[in-house]
């Protein structure tokens, strides 16, 4: 556990909110020094390693996946002024505090150690991947997929702790995606004293908003778990001055998508003259389609929890999008299992439990060695 905590602290101390190079260097150097794996560093800075089953063309690949970029730190989380300088890392009361401790360098460290220590079955290749750019739309994962990263199965080590109950690390079988889009209403400008001379873009936008409010939010069922999406207008911007009929109004929509279903926003736009719909960001949802894999992961997690005298984890659903969505979209069967607890990521007091990191390390190693 001390090795895992030390490695976590080493990674957390390295700034990686603007430039992930140094963090990637540290991960790459550790893998080359601590393993005999085939280690790769791609053009955007992803670190990927493989071991086992080199001569078996029928071998399945199981990947342990994380990311080493983080969101910008708060002032208290850096040793320099503002966001400059090494990140501050503290260990106290059984937890490690610092930007990226929970999201998700602690879990990356657990994956690294499990990758080193696990001895997979002879017919399985074990992979490790730490991506860049997860916090800005999955740019690292998308690049890796584009250039051939295609494991059969993956455990993405994002947070799944304390979901079903306190003190357990659950196995996520599905998560929501996020589609951010904009309704753009066009009109004709006129003096506000003669509104009939123009076409009010805000009125058209309001009509489109009414159409959106009538849409059903997306829904799905995965492993018997209900996954409910959502749909909400979050910003409206139109007009430039008080005495001119506005010729443009933009309506921002936040939609949480689910596997296999999306809201029909295009229909809402088509129902109102002069309104177009533009998709700004589309982070895909994830649903595991491999029952034996999901069951094996839950069995591995339950075995670890039982050994530690903890309550049994469950298959659960996660509300947040992760890189598992990109991998699933490309054909990889994914699960999410990791140390971060709800309310820890991206906060000024971000932290992770050392005992939870150890629990995750055991789960990853157990699953990597298990037949399924």
The catalytic residue positions are 69, 135
How far apart are the C-alpha atoms of 209 and 272, rounded to whole Å? 10
Are β-strands 47-51 and 124-131 bridged in parallel, bridged antiparallel, or unpaired? antiparallel
H or E, element range at 210: helix 201-213
* DSSP for 276-340, written as a single string: EEEEEEEE--EE---HHHHHHHHHHHHHHHHHTT-PPP-EEEESS--HHHHHHHTT-EEEE--SP
Least Cα distance to 360 among 309, 316, 297, 317 occurs for 297
Percentage helix, strand, coil, to 5, in the chain?
A: 30, 30, 40
Q: Give the distance, in angstroms, between the CA of residue 158 and the centroid of all CA atoms in the same chain.
A: 6
Q: Residue count of the chain, please give it.
A: 372
Residue 6 neighbours by CB under 8 Å, 6+ apart: none
Helix, strand, or coil here: 134? helix
Question: Which residues lie across from 244 on neighbouring strands?
Answer: 191
Least Cα distance to 340 among 173, 99, 78 occurs for 99
């Amino acid at each position: 556990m001390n090795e895992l905590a030390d490695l976590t602290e080493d990674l957390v101390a390295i700034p990686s909110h603007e430039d992930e190079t140094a963090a990637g260097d540290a991960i790459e150097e550790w893998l080359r020094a601590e393993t005999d794996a085939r280690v790769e560093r791609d053009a955007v800075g992803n670190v990927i390693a493989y071991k086992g089953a080199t001569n078996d063309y029928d071998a399945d690949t199981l990947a342990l996946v994380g990311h080493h970029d983080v969101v910008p730190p708060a002032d208290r989380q850096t040793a320099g002024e503002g966001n400059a300088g090494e990140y501050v890392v503290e260990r106290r009361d059984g937890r490690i505090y610092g930007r990226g401790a929970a999201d998700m360098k602690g879990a990356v460290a657990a994956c690294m150690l499990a990758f080193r220590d696990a001895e997979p079955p002879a017919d399985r290749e074990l992979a490790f991947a730490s991506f860049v750019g997860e916090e800005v739309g999955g740019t690292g994962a998308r690049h890796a997929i584009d250039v051939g990263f295609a494991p059969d199965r993956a455990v993405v080590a994002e947070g799944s702790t304390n979901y079903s109950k306190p003190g357990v690390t659950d196995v996520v079988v599905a998560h929501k995606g996020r589609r951010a889009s904009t309704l753009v209403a066009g009109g004709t400008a006129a003096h506000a004293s003669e509104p009939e001379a123009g076409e009010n873009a805000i009125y058209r936008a309001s009509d489109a908003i009414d159409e959106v409010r009538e849409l059903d939010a997306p829904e799905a069922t995965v492993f018997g778990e209900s996954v409910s999406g959502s749909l909400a207008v979050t910003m409206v911007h139109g007009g430039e001055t008080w005495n001119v009929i506005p010729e443009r109004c933009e309506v921002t929509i936040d939609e949480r998508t689910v596997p296999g279903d999306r809201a029909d926003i295009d229909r809402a736009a088509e129902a109102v003259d002069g309104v177009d719909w533009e998709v700004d960001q589309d982070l895909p949802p994830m649903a595991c389609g491999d029952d034996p894999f999901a069951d094996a992961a839950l069995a591995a997690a339950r075995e670890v929890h039982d050994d530690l005298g903890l309550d049994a984890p469950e298959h659960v659903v996660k509300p947040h999008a992760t890189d598992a969505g990109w991998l699933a979209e490309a054909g990889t069967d994914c699960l999410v299992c990791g140390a971060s607890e709800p309310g820890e990521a991206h906060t000024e007091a971000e932290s992770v439990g050392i005992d939870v990191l150890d629990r995750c390390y055991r789960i990853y190693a157990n699953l990597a060695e298990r037949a399924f």
